[in-house]
Amino acid sequence: MLSALLLYSRLGSRPEPAAPEIEQITPAPSEGSGEDMTAPDTDGAAPAAEPEKSGSWEPKPNMNENPSDSAASGTSGFTEMAKSSGGRVPPMPASELTPEPQLASLKPSGMAVMPSGVTFSIEDPSFGPTAAHTAKPAQLPLPPEALGPLPLREAAAKGDAAAQYAIATRYAEGVGTKADPKEAVKWLEPAAAAGLAPAQYSLAAMYERGLGVDADLGKARFWYAAAAAKGNVKAMHNLAVSVSGRDGGEPDYTLAVKWYREAAGYGLADSQFNLGILAEHGLGMTKNLSEAYKWFSLAAASGDAEAAKRREVIRVQLAPATLAEAEAAVTAWKVKVAPADANEVVEQVAWAATAPATENTALVARAQTLLNGLGYDVGPPDGLIGSRTRTAVKRFQNRNGLAETGEISIPLVTQLERLSS
């Protein structure tokens, strides 16, 4: 049986350029069909292995974090949407607040783990925050002027969840201020308690990584489950990752299958790949090579080279008639449309003012760095809007259906962050 290392190394991110060699598997005389969700035989469980990646997170550069604030090393920041062909997830989810991700390396030593022999269980989370996560008082201090126009800051202070999320994003990414994960958490908490799924997802990621708060796997799973129940795709994937045993607890592959399947249905390639691995080895479901072939094929269609290799390993094990049926299933598959309000927050027009003049240099330099990363060559980031930078901004705006102003604003940088994650 394939080592669990292959599955765990793909739970949250693409592998490094030197991908592990794919194990060749002797063709089986027959293969399963259907999607029976019975628990796997314990003899077939994959051995535990240290994960290389996690969830849907990619710390961004230049986001300072006090080491005492976090159990994880490195810098802060959070993403919101997962990448499709360029990298593993977030998707998903730029920063953990601004969407989709290539995930950062995360070692289990910095994470809370379950006591030996204790299995973590999550019921179908068709719930909102419980008494343990009650909403905090709506009235909060007015955020600093550097974080945005007065209407945005007043809305956040008075309890508008979307505005609070926007303020949290700025603190997380260091837009208009120094990156401050503790302040980001302070504004995420009331937004999450109010039921805003992107805030719930981002707060879960903060708890998982110990950014701005003490790492708490239970709270991370709680908020991932709440966001997943509302349709947040990255939260579905991260919850599945968490219960797959990569955090040191007893794996619950049946629950992992449930949430990988949900995220895979929305087109998340990393979830499709992981679901293929589980189907191939009968973890959380009856072993089903046809199903594995389908999910590997769909992930490969998104540009996943490793999934394409796994698909070819499965292909030689399928009888011609079964292979034809599997190919037909791939052709007939249609991606579901994820609920927009559960995966992103659109700021009101009144909130979309440019940063104060004293902050423009840092904002422009950040935009220049992001534009360079996306292939819009602006030269060395210097914080000055010259003709080269303005032309690059207009090209970016044109390609993304935005008004071609050539101006750099907080919403523009937020959009660049989302596409860079």
CA distance 363 to 356: 10
Same domain, 286 and 404: no
Last residue of a domain, which of 322, 353, 384? 353
pTM: 0.61
Same domain, 240 and 270: yes
Q: What is the pLDDT of residue 269?
A: 95
Backbone angles phi, psi at 404, to 5 degrees: -85, 80
* For residue 135, pLDDT beyond 70: no
Last residue of a domain, which of 299, 333, 353? 353
CB burial of residue 23 (10 Å; 0-12, 13-18, 19+): exposed
Q: What percent of the chain has pLDDT over 70?
A: 64
pLDDT band at 7 (very low <50, low <70, confident <90, very high): low
Q: What is the pLDDT of residue 57?
A: 30
Same domain, 24 and 35: yes
The answer to whether residue 97 is domain-embedded is yes
The CATH number that applies at residue 184 is 1.25.40.10
Q: What percent of the chain has pLDDT over 90?
A: 44
Backbone angles phi, psi at 121, to 5 degrees: -130, 140
pLDDT digits (tens, 9 = 90+) for 281-293: 999 999 999 999 9
Among 169-178, 215-224, 382-391, name the most confident range: 215-224
Overall number of domains in the chain: 2
Q: Which of 106-110, 153-157, 276-280, 386-390 has the lowest mean pLDDT?
A: 106-110
Same domain, 344 and 365: no
Same domain, 283 and 236: yes
Angle between helix 269-281 and helix 289-301 axes, rounded to 10 deg: 160
- Asked if 65 contacts 20 with a C-beta cutoff of 8 angstroms, the reply is no
The CA-to-CA distance between both ends of the chain, in Å, stands at 34
Residue 157, helix vs strand vs coil: helix
The answer to whether residue 260 is domain-embedded is yes
pLDDT band at 350 (very low <50, low <70, confident <90, very high): confident
Same domain, 190 and 235: yes
pLDDT digits (tens, 9 = 90+) for 358-390: 447 888 888 899 999 888 888 888 888 888 888
Comparison of pLDDT for 264 and 177, the residue scoring more: 264
pLDDT digits (tens, 9 = 90+) for 239-296: 999 999 876 778 999 999 999 999 999 999 999 999 999 999 999 999 999 999 999 9
Same domain, 302 and 389: no
Same domain, 19 and 99: yes
* For residue 114, pLDDT beyond 70: no
* For residue 25, pLDDT beyond 70: no
Q: Which of 174-178, 221-225, 268-272 has the lowest mean pLDDT?
A: 174-178
Comparison of pLDDT for 184 and 413, the residue scoring more: 184
The answer to whether residue 248 is domain-embedded is yes
CB burial of residue 64 (10 Å; 0-12, 13-18, 19+): exposed
Amino acid sitting at position 367? A
Average pLDDT for 314-329? 96
Q: Which of 44-48, 151-155, 383-387 has the lowest mean pLDDT?
A: 44-48
- Quote the DSSP letter at residue 105: B
Same domain, 218 and 267: yes
Average pLDDT for 183-203? 97
Q: What is the pLDDT of residue 201?
A: 97
* For residue 88, pLDDT beyond 50: no
Last residue of a domain, which of 313, 337, 353? 353
Same domain, 319 and 396: no
pLDDT band at 228 (very low <50, low <70, confident <90, very high): very high
**Total Cβ atoms within 10 A of residue 31:** 21
Q: What is the pLDDT of residue 84?
A: 33
Report the mean per-residue pLDDT for the chain.
73
Same domain, 290 and 394: no
The answer to whether residue 179 is domain-embedded is yes
Same domain, 223 and 163: yes
The answer to whether residue 120 is domain-embedded is no
Domain that holds residue 265: 1-115+125-353
Residue 238, helix vs strand vs coil: helix
